[in-house]
Amino acid sequence: MRSSRSTTPSSNPGTHLGWALSAAVCQSSVSAIWVLDAVLQFQPYMFTKAFGSQTLAVTAQGNPAWIAHSITWAAGIVARHPVWTNAVFATVQLAVGLGIAWRPTTKWALAASIGWALAVW
């Protein structure tokens, strides 16, 4: 005889636990990626003029004109002020990563993560 109990996710507590674990693993992974990105951004080479002029500026080649112009513009700013710009970039990335990991700021940090990724990448 069949059970009258429904197997929908709302009646199966194990499903909610699995979803919560998946969300927590995803959140921790995104946080770790941002923190790793910040650690890599804090490398000494990133604080040199060469990062802006030899690494960033080269990526403009082969892009449509409007994208190439914005890349060249940003690379010029980074090349002229490498310490200040890199310190800001790395600090924002670290704050986003730690903010995603810290429960009270997760939603704000995830929103900042999307905004920063769209602006920088």
Q: How far is CA 4 from CA 1, 7, 8, 11, 71, in A?
A: 9, 9, 12, 12, 62
| Strand, coil or helix: 105 | helix
pTM of the predicted model as reported, rounded to 2 decimal places: 0.79
Per-residue tens of pLDDT for the chain, all 121 residues: 555 555 555 555 556 667 777 888 999 999 999 999 999 999 999 999 999 999 999 999 999 999 999 999 999 999 999 999 999 999 999 999 999 999 999 999 999 999 999 988 7
